[in-house]
Amino acid sequence: MEPELPPIGLGTMGIEDPDTVARAIELGYRHLDTAQIYENEDVVGEGISRADVPREELTVATKVWADSLAPADVHRSTEESLGELGLDSVELLYVHRPIEAYDPEETLPAFDSLREDGLIEHVGLSNFTTTQLEKARGILEAPIAAHQVEYHPFYWEEELLDFAREDGHALVAYSPLAQGEVFDDPVLEEIAAEHGASEAQVALAWLAGTEGVVPIPKASSEEHLKANLAAAEIELTEEERGRIDGIEDAEKLFE
């Protein structure tokens, strides 16, 4: 059974205050995304412990960094991550990038083993190509639960979306606001004015309204946390979606 991911989650890269995470949970966020390389799993874990929300309502995701993808390191670093988070298990664990110590024949069975041991519920992949996804799918015993990639109005890969839909996994969109570039785009500005919303909300509405896509924007202030959640309620017309689809592609932000 695949994880039920809400329309909009919380990206936590750069968040250093546990109260931000706790407040996000209390406002309604149920999908929290962190990573070993963010060096804030302890912050996210403390935020979870401070929030007055049952643990079973949350989907917590973290990622094993590229230097810890040898089998023994997968187990060691995942146990360290759980210690930092203060949790017995996480719902979703990603291979962060298929580089450095990544060896599909060695790394992926280690993730299956974590699942068998009850330390994780689902296996995710991040920053893979379709060729790498195909190979992983042939090795993993677990289904691919999610594939996390850069995805925003200025950069997205249709073949990855097609693959996700065909395979039945979620495409989790990181950097959905293109590091603030959405605020400078005239198309998003026009549509935002039509809806009495912000450009960020329009970008998130476009993402959340795309079948199979789950954006995980980062926010720290209560105002932005609320605004990002509210974006899921904005209904764009097909014409508006087409205008956003037609925004000229820019260069990828993260290589």
Active centre residues (catalytic): 38
Q: Which string of DSSP letters, residue by residue, matches 203-221?
A: HHHHHHTSTTEEE--B--S
Do the beta carbons of residue 127 and residue 98 sit within 8 Å? yes
What is the rounded distance in angstroms from the CA atom of residue 32 to the CA atom of residue 151? 18
DSSP-based three-state secondary structure for 57 = helix
C-alpha–C-alpha distance, residues 212 and 223, integer Å: 27
Q: Which amino acid makes up residue 255?
A: E
Helices (H), the chain: 18-27, 41-50, 71-85, 104-116, 130-139, 158-167, 186-195, 199-208, 222-230, 238-245
